[in-house]
Structure formats: structure tokens, C-alpha cells
């Protein structure tokens, strides 16, 4: 079976779009409601009920907002329920676009003894580089066309790690931020992951992680994470991002060559022409 796990928290507007994006390519979707102060669980329930029995909801009440280490623990805990199955690991604002159909990728992995498929962030932004409002979900509304520009700006602006573990066997531990895997006590970081025998080769098997974090609520959310000033929330990194965005008046310059923006209004792997070059940069970070 192919299962997906995601952890959703204070923002649930991308969640129905995200479920819709994956529901036809997986057998089950496990949603963990990381519910601080009992604010969001009912909203998450309402979203999940739209999609039927394929969606399985878990609740994790917690008083610590933005504890990314806890979030990663939840990913590993849910995956461990079915350690021999394949899992897609995706935050609720991350939309995977695959180099091959997912079943082909998994078949290749099983034939070759690979247990991990990696990818990296592509940041999505609205028309004119604006942090625009996400429209209410309908099944005919595309999130890709609402945020049609694809680029790479979070890492250059704040140093946030752009690597992601995207498809993985349930028994493989992932590290905070879902950026790397830990195998036999070693983290698949940089050279330790480049030619790792359990990782599918990126030149043929990779995942574009289209990141729809950047709507009109993102500035407030980034500032909130920065303001709690906790190491587990990576508050220093979030403060750096907030200050960088403020210096640009909270609008991205689509012509800035440093951010590699391209017009990509559909979820098609080939649309983002700079992917091969970008991915080589990402795995070197």
C-alpha cells in the first residue's frame, strides 16, 4: 500500500487542496491534527469528512505551538504503524510533483533496493510576486494557478534547509523538518546522502516539493514563530526571513535572477525548466 502522512496545525486553508492533490495516487491519507489550545480540530474534521474513508484523522493535543521537533516525532510515529509500507511525507502546504508516476517510482525502488526518494522545495508565489489570499476550496479550483510563479527564495533569504525526504519506507526515521533520513545512526546530509545505497538516484527519481506557504497569512505566521524565541521553532531563522521580506515590502521581484522564478500554472514536472540545476544546488546544501 501507498500511504501519506501529514501534520496540520494552526492554518488549515491549504489542507483540502492538499488532500485533493494526493487522494487519487495513494491508498490512505493520515492527517495528524497538531491541535494547540483546541483551536483547529473541528475545522480539520470538517475538511477530512469531504473526502471519505480514505482519510484517517489523528489528534495530538499539545500546548507548545510551532514545535517542529514534535511535528517530526508525529511523522515518524504514524509511519511506524506500517513500517514495511511506502509513505509519502508531506506538510499540508507541500504539493509533490514527481519525475515519474508514483507507482513507477516505487516499483523501481523495490527492484533496486532503494527505500528513500528525496526532493527539494520550489517556492510558489502569486501574480506580480504578491502574497495573495488563497481562495476557498472547491474541487475545480487549482492552487497552482492561484500561485502561478515557481522559484527558490526561502533558502537565499533565510538559510532554511530546502532538502526534503518525500517517499520513504515506514521504518526509516526522518529528521526534524523532514529534511533528511537517519539510517543506522547516520544522517543522509550532503555527501552522506549523495550516493547512499538506499536513496534513489536523483537524476532519474526526484520530487519537486511545491511550497504553498506564501499566501497573505504567511507574514503574520512567520512573525509569530519568530516572536516565541524558541530553538525548537527555529525562531532565529524565521526572524531572518521576516526581516528579509520586510526589506522587500513583502513582495517578491519576479525578475530577480537570484530567485529563479518561472511561470508554472499547472502541476507538471517539466514546467519548471531550472529543476535539474536547482536540485543539484539543493542537495549540496
Give percent of the chain above pLDDT 70.
99
pLDDT of residue 36: 67
Give percent of the chain above pLDDT 90.
88
pLDDT of residue 184: 84
pLDDT of residue 206: 97
Task: Provide CB contacts within 8 A for 140, sequence distance 6+.
Answer: none
Residue range 226-266, pLDDT digits in tens: 999 999 999 999 999 999 999 999 999 999 999 999 999 99
Alpha-helical runs (H) found in 68-212 = 68-79, 102-112, 143-146, 154-158, 191-194
Residue 139 has pLDDT above 80, yes or no: yes
Task: Provide CB contacts within 8 A for 262, sequence distance 6+.
Answer: 149, 150, 151, 271, 272, 273, 274
CA distance 229 to 175: 21
Amino acid at each position: 500500500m501507498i500511504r501519506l502522512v501529514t501534520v496540520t496545525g494552526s492554518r488549515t486553508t491549504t489542507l483540502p487542496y492538499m488532500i485533493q492533490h494526493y487522494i487519487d495516487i495513494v491508498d490512505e491519507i493520515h492527517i495528524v491534527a497538531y491541535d494547540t489550545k483546541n483551536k483547529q480540530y473541528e475545522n480539520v474534521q470538517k475538511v477530512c469528512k469531504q473526502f471519505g474513508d480514505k482519510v484517517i484523522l489523528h489528534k495530538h493535543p499539545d500546548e507548545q505551538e510551532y514545535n517542529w521537533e514534535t511535528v517530526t516525532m508525529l511523522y515518524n510515529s504514524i509511519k511506524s504503524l506500517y513500517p514495511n509500507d511506502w509513505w509519502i511525507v508531506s506538510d499540508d502546504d507541500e504539493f509533490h510533483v514527481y519525475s515519474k508516476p508514483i507507482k513507477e517510482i516505487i516499483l523501481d525502488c523495490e527492484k533496486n533496493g532503494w527505500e528513500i526518494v528525496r526532493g527539494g522545495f520550489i517556492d510558489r508565489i502569486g501574480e506580480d510576486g504578491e502574497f495573495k489570499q488563497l481562495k476557498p476550496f472547491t474541487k475545480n479550483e487549482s492552487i497552482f494557478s492561484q500561485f502561478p510563479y515557481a522559484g527558490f527564495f526561502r533558502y537565499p533569504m533565510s538559510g532554511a534547509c530546502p532538502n526534503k525526504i518525500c517517499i520513504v519506507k515506514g521504518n526509516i526515521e526522518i529528521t526534524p523538518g523532514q529534511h533528511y533520513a537517519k539510517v543506522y545512526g547516520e544522517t543522509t546530509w550532503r555527501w552522506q546522502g549523495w550516493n547512499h545505497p538506499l536513496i534513489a538516484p536523483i537524476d532519474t527519481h526526484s520530487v519537486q516539493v511545491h511550497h504553498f506557504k506564501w499566501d497573505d497569512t504567511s507574514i503574520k505566521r512567520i512573525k509569530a514563530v519568530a516572536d516565541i524565541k524558541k530553538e525548537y521553532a527555529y525562531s532565529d531563522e524565521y526572524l531572518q526571513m521576516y526581516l528579509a521580506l520586510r526589506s522587500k515590502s513583502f513582495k517578491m521581484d519576479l525578475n530577480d535572477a537570484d530567485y529563479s522564478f518561472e511561470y508554472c500554472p499547472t502541476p507538471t514536472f517539466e514546467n519548471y525548466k531550472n529543476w535539474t540545476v536547482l536540485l543539484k544546488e539543493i542537495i549540496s546544501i
